[in-house]
C-alpha cells in the first residue's frame, strides 16, 4: 500500500479556540497513546480494523510549547500488525534503551531511538526486537488477542498481559518466556494493572475486579463486582502515587467507579458528571486524590476526591476542571515526566492539554 502522507498540523483553529491546547492530526483514527518517561515524546497507535496499522511518534516541547513544536516524526513511525490495543514505554528512564511495548495479537517490543530527536532525518525507524506469544505450535495455532497490558515499574522485566481467552499472563521479557499464566476470570479479561510488591489487578467481561498476588498464585480476590449482573468492566487504572486507590469503567455507563483497597466491595465514590459513556480514566502522576476521565460527551474532567471516604456528599462530587474537545474522546494519558500535560485522542487527532 502507499506510504502514509506526512501528517498535517491543523492547529490554527484549536489555537484560536484554546491557546494551551495543541492538536496534531494524523491520517488515521487513533486509539492507543503513551508518553515516554524520559523524553518529550508521545506514541500514538492507529485503529484500523485491518492487518495494516501504524504507530507514530510525536514530539512536543513541554517548556515552550507551540503549535509547530507538537508534530509527528515521520522517520520514527512504523508499521504495526493489527491495531495496537495498548502502547507503553519502558518505565525506567536512564538505565535502559528506549523500549516501546505494544499489544495486539501478541506482545511486541520495539526499540525506539529517542536519544537524538534532532537528527530525525538520519535516524532509523524503530526496530522490532521481540515478539512474545504463547502458541503451543507456531505453525498451527493462533494466540488469543491481547486486550491490554501493563509494564511493572518496580520490576521492569515483568509485563502482565490481558487476553480474551480469560487468562492473565506474566511475561519475563528478558528471557522472552511466560513466567506465570493465571486463569481466574470466567470471561475475557479487558485490562490489567500492576500495584506494588508483585500484586496486580484485572477487570473482565464477567463484571469483576480481581486482585492477584504472585507470591500466592493459588488465590485471587474478587475486589469489586459490577452492580448490574454480567455488566462487563472495560478499563482499570491503579493510582501509582497512592496504591490504595483504583478506578474502573463499566460498559455502557457514564460512571467512573473509584475503589479503595482498604474497603473492598463498596466503591469509595462513583463520579457521575459525564453526559455520555466514559471511555478512559487516568490518575494524576504526582497527586494522591486527583484523576482525569474522558468520554463520549467529548469532555475531559479532572476530579479531586475528598480527603476522607466518608466525606462524599450525597448529591455526588463535581469535577474541578473541564475541557471540551467537541468529539468523542477515546483515549487519555497523563504524562508522568511532565505532570502538567495530558494527552487525549479523538477521531484522527491527538491533543496535548496543559492542566
Partner 1 sequence: MASAPPVQEEPLQPGTNHFRSLLAAAVRSISWSYAIFWSISTSCPGVLTWNDGFYNGVVKTRKISNSADLTAGQLVVQRSEQLRELYYSLLSGECDHRARRPIAALSPEDLADTEWYYVVCMTYSFQPGQGLPGKSYASNASVWLRNAQSADSKTFLRSLLAKSASIQTIICIPFTSGVLELGTTDPVLEDPKLVNRIVAYFQELQFPICLEVLMSTSPSPNETEDADIVSEGLITHNAIEEGQMVVSDECVSNANRDPITMEIDELYSIYEDLDLDMDLDLDTVRFLEDNGWPVNPSSFQLVPASSTEAVAAAAAANDVDGVANSQVSCFMAWKSAKSNEMAVPVVTGIESQKLLKKVVDCGARMSTGRGSRAALTQESGIKNHVISERRRREKLNEMFLILKSIVPSIHKVDKASILEETIAYLKVLEKRVKELESSSEPSHQRATETGQQRRCEITGKELVSEIGVSGGGDAGREHHHVNVTVTDKVVLLEVQCRWKELVMTRVFDAIKSLCLDVLSVQASAPDGLLGLKIQAKFACSGSVAPGMISEALQKAIGG
Q: Binding to partner 1 (CB under 8 A): which residues in 121-140? A: none
Q: How far is the CB of 174 from partner 1 (least distance, A)?
A: 26
Q: How many C-alpha atoms does 312 have within 13 Å on its Cβ side?
A: 16
Q: d(Cα 98, Cα 101) in Å, to the nearest integer? A: 10
Name which of 104, 210, 194 is nearest 147 in CA terms: 104
Query: For 85, how many CA atoms within 13 A lie in the half-sphere containing its CB?
Result: 21
Binding-site member from 16, 118, 121, 314 for partner 1 (CB under 8 A): 118
Are 60 and 40 contacting, i.e. CB atoms less than 8 angstroms apart? Answer: yes
Q: Which of 8, 12, 20, 197 binds partner 1 (CB under 8 A)?
A: 20
Task: Return the number of the residue (199 or 271) whose C-beta is nearest partner 1.
Answer: 271
CA 241 to chain centre: 16
C-alpha cell, 168: 492473565
Piece of 124-132, 192-200, 239-247, 248-256 that binds partner 1 (CB under 8 A): 248-256
Report the residue from 56, 77, 88, 147 that binds partner 1 according to the rule CB under 8 A.
147
Residue 240 region by backbone torsions, left for phi larger than 0, else alpha for psi between -120 and 50, else beta: alpha
User: Which of the ranges 153-161, 168-176, 259-267, 276-284 carries the binding residues for partner 1, by CB under 8 A?
Assistant: 276-284
Sole window of 161-169, 208-216, 222-230, 261-269 interacting with partner 1 (rule: CB under 8 A): 161-169
Q: Which of residues 27-86 bind partner 1 (CB under 8 A)?
A: 29, 31, 38-40, 47, 49-52, 59, 61-66, 68-69, 82-83, 85
* Contact with partner 1 (CB under 8 A) among 28, 108, 210, 273: 273
Provide φ and ψ at 38, rounded to 5°: -130, -25
**3 state DSSP class of 309:** helix
Let me know the angle formed at the C-alpha of 42 by 68 and 336, rounded to the nearest 5 degrees.
115
Half-sphere exposure of 163 (CA within 13 A, CB side): 23
Strand residue runs (E) in 41-115: 41-46, 52-59, 71-72, 78-81, 86-89, 99-103, 107-111
> For residue 156, how many C-alpha atoms fall within 13 Å in the half-sphere facing its CB?
15
CB 142 within 8 A of CB 135: yes
Asked whether 351 and 21 are in contact (CB, 8 A), the reply is yes
User: Cα–Cα distance between 103 and 322 in angstroms, integer?
Assistant: 31
Selected from 275, 288, 326, 327, the binder of partner 1 by CB under 8 A is 275
Q: Indicate the residue among 16 and 175 with the shorter CB distance to partner 1.
A: 16
Identity of the residue, 201 or 205, whose beta carbon is nearer to partner 1 in the bound complex: 205
- Piece of 168-176, 192-200, 223-231, 252-260 that binds partner 1 (CB under 8 A): 252-260
CA distances from residue 139 to 130, 143, 177, 178 in whole angstroms, order as listed: 18, 11, 18, 19
Give residue for cell 475503589.
259
Pick from 88, 134, 161, 166: which binds partner 1 (CB under 8 A)? 166
Return the residues of window 182-241 that contact partner 1 according to CB under 8 A: 183, 186, 188, 190-191, 205, 218, 232, 234-235
* CB-nearer residue toward partner 1: 36 or 152: 36
Q: Is 19 in the site for partner 1 (CB under 8 A)?
A: yes
Q: Which is nearer to partner 1, 54 or 273 (CB)?
A: 273
Q: Is 2 in the site for partner 1 (CB under 8 A)?
A: no
Least spacing, CB of residue 197 vs partner 1, in Å: 24
Site residues for partner 1, 300-329, by CB under 8 A, read 300-302, 304, 315, 318-323, 328
Under rule CB under 8 A, residue 92 binds partner 1: no
Q: Which is nearer to partner 1, 52 or 157 (CB)?
A: 52
| Beta carbon nearer to partner 1, 152 or 254 | 254
Between 251 and 261, CB nearer to partner 1: 251
Amino acid at each position: 500500500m502507499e506510504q502514509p502522507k506526512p501528517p498535517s498540523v491543523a492547529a490554527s483553529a484549536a489555537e484560536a479556540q484554546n491557546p494551551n491546547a495543541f492538536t496534531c492530526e494524523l491520517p488515521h483514527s487513533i486509539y492507543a497513546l503513551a508518553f515516554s518517561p524520559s523524553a518529550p515524546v508521545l506514541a500514538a497507535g492507529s485503529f484500523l480494523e485491518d492487518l495494516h496499522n501504524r504507530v507514530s511518534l510525536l514530539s512536543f516541547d513541554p517548556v515552550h510549547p507551540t503549535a509547530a513544536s507538537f508534530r509527528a516524526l515521520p522517520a520514527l513511525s512504523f508499521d504495526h500488525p493489527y491495531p495496537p490495543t495498548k502502547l507503553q514505554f519502558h518505565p525506567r528512564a536512564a538505565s535502559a534503551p528506549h523500549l516501546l511495548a505494544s499489544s495486539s495479537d501478541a506482545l511486541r517490543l520495539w526499540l525506539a531511538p529517542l536519544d537524538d530527536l534532532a537528527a530525525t532525518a538520519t535516524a532509523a525507524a524503530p526496530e522490532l526486537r521481540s515478539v512474545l506469544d504463547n502458541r503451543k505450535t507456531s505453525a498451527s495455532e493462533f494466540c488469543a488477542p491481547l486486550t491490554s497490558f501493563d509494564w511493572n515499574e518496580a520490576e521492569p522485566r515483568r509485563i502482565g498481559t490481558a487476553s480474551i481467552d480469560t487468562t492473565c499472563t506474566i511475561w519475563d521479557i528478558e528471557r522472552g518466556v511466560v513466567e506465570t499464566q493465571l486463569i481466574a476470570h470466567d470471561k475475557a479479561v479487558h485490562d490489567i494493572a500492576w500495584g506494588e510488591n508483585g500484586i496486580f489487578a484485572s477487570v473482565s467481561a464477567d463484571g469483576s475486579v480481581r486482585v492477584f498476588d504472585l507470591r500466592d498464585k493459588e488465590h485471587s480476590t474478587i475486589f469489586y463486582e459490577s452492580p448490574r449482573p454480567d455488566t462487563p468492566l472495560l478499563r482499570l487504572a491503579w493510582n501509582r502515587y497512592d496504591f490504595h486507590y483504583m478506578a474502573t469503567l463499566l460498559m455502557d455507563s457514564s460512571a467512573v467507579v473509584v475503589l479503595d483497597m482498604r474497603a473492598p466491595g463498596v466503591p469509595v465514590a462513583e463520579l457521575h458528571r459525564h453526559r455520555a459513556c466514559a471511555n478512559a480514566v487516568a490518575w494524576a502522576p504526582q497527586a494522591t486524590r486527583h484523576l482525569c476521565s474522558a468520554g463520549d460527551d467529548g469532555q475531559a474532567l479532572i476530579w479531586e476526591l475528598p480527603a476522607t471516604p466518608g466525606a462524599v456528599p450525597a448529591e455526588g462530587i463535581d469535577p474541578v476542571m473541564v475541557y471540551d474537545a467537541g468529539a468523542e474522546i477515546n483515549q487519555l494519558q497523563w504524562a508522568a515526566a511532565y505532570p502538567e500535560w495530558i494527552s487525549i485522542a479523538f477521531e484522527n487527532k491527538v491533543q496535548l492539554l496543559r492542566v
